[in-house]
Amino acid sequence: MRFSTFSTVALVFARHVCTLPTEKDKVSGLDVALSQANNTRMKAVVKNIGQEDVTFVHLNFFGDKAPVKKVSVYQNNTELAFSGINRHFRLQGITPDSFTTLKTGEAIEDEFDIATTTELSSGGSVLLKSSGLVPLVSNGAVSGYLPYHSNDLNIKIDGLKASQVAKAIKPLQRRTKVTCDNQRMKNELTDALRKTSSLASVAANAARYGSADKFREYFKTTDGSVRQTVAARLDAVAREAGSSTSGATTYYCTDAYGYCESSVLAYTIPIRDVIVNCELYYSYLPELTSNCHEQDRATTSLHEFTHAPGVYSPGTQDLGYGYEAATALSSQEAVMNADTYALYANGEFQRQTSMPS
């Protein structure tokens, strides 16, 4: 990523040390019934099958109007590439337009066209399914998570009709590797990326040589090959965030594609290695938090860089958002979860800077 000259920065002293996760009771989840409406247009009925009313964030989920990943699409036992966006939202102060409430037994419907974010012009048989964790909301803040699971939907696609569906993401003319006309935002992003690079380097070193217990807390294993994989991705993020003359990503300071909303901090378009900051990135986030597992600009950018396959392939997904959801994932899932890297980097920074010198 070409942005500005990188220099080493001193990181501030942390006041809090991250603790081990605490187990919480998991409520019954959401049932997702998938069906084919018309060729590549799908219908999802999301039903609350639990015993309590639930309120959840629908960003990156069914009900989100942006081209986010709602289902995984497989053909010949291989998942097809997703060409939409991953949205990164705030964990506190979430506005009502970003969440949905379902009473027990209540359901919502969502229709979407998978051809807008998946190349299906070859047609043929495909398999669709969806599962994961959706964040619960209480008093405008993420308070837990809710599992969801769909049926496996096997369908046939008319390739000619699919090829006529417009893609959601349109190309932008690229003048430089980074577009940032606002000087204040450019300066703030420059400072944040310096810290992103430093955090990623600290975390990469910890993944290789640091505490096995702390690594297990986030990645659910101490296997040497997994530690090397995590370290390699974090090394790649450190290089990308710290580079001033080369790199794989294009980083926009402002909403170049129009997918920022009231609770969105930033988003990534993985297939294009594009990262976009929203206004909240500057107005809501501190540059670097001294609190455990809280959001800041440095770890938000780190999260986004892990999504980009040009930084390290394959790019990560959003399988568990926030500490509770991320630490509930399996090891295989955690290694592919963007927030796990951001949380681990934050946790290692808090732990190491809190140690007596």
Before 270, cis peptide (omega within 30)?
A: no
pLDDT at 99: 95
pLDDT range class, residue 13, cuts 50, 70, 90 = very low
Mean pLDDT of the chain: 90
What is the SS3 assignment for 275?
Answer: strand
**Section 61-73 average pLDDT:** 98
Type and span of the H or E element at 346: helix 338-354
Question: Model confidence over 306-330: pLDDT tens digits?
Answer: 999 999 999 999 999 899 899 999 9
pLDDT at 61: 97
Type and span of the H or E element at 351: helix 338-354
Q: How many CA atoms lie within 13 A of 51 on its CB side?
A: 2
pLDDT range class, residue 261, cuts 50, 70, 90 = very high
What CA dihedral angle connects 236, 242, 245 and 251, to 10 degrees? 80
**Residue numbering of the annotated binding site:** 303, 307, 318
pLDDT range class, residue 12, cuts 50, 70, 90 = very low
| Spatial separation of the C-alpha atoms in residues 154 and 88, rounded to whole Å | 30
pLDDT at 171: 72
pLDDT at 355: 53
| Spatial separation of the C-alpha atoms in residues 160 and 152, rounded to whole Å | 24
Higher per-residue confidence, 279 vs 9: 279
Decide if pLDDT at 281 tops 90. Answer: yes
Q: Which residues are catalytic?
A: 304
Helix ranges (H only) for 123-211 are 159-163, 183-209
Decide if pLDDT at 218 tops 70. Answer: yes
Question: Model confidence over 195-215: pLDDT tens digits?
Answer: 999 999 999 999 999 999 999
Q: What percent of the chain has pLDDT over 70?
A: 89
Type and span of the H or E element at 332: helix 331-335
> Cβ(293)–Cβ(323) under 8 Å?
yes
**Section 67-96 average pLDDT:** 97
| Spatial separation of the C-alpha atoms in residues 237 and 214, rounded to whole Å | 20
Question: Model confidence over 159-188: pLDDT tens digits?
Answer: 999 999 999 998 765 543 556 888 899 899
Phi and psi at residue 240, to the nearest 5°: -65, -45
> Cβ(353)–Cβ(345) under 8 Å?
no
Question: Model confidence over 127-157: pLDDT tens digits?
Answer: 999 999 999 999 999 998 999 999 999 999 9
**Section 270-277 average pLDDT:** 95
**Residue numbering of the annotated binding site for Zn(2+):** 303, 307, 318
pLDDT range class, residue 9, cuts 50, 70, 90 = very low
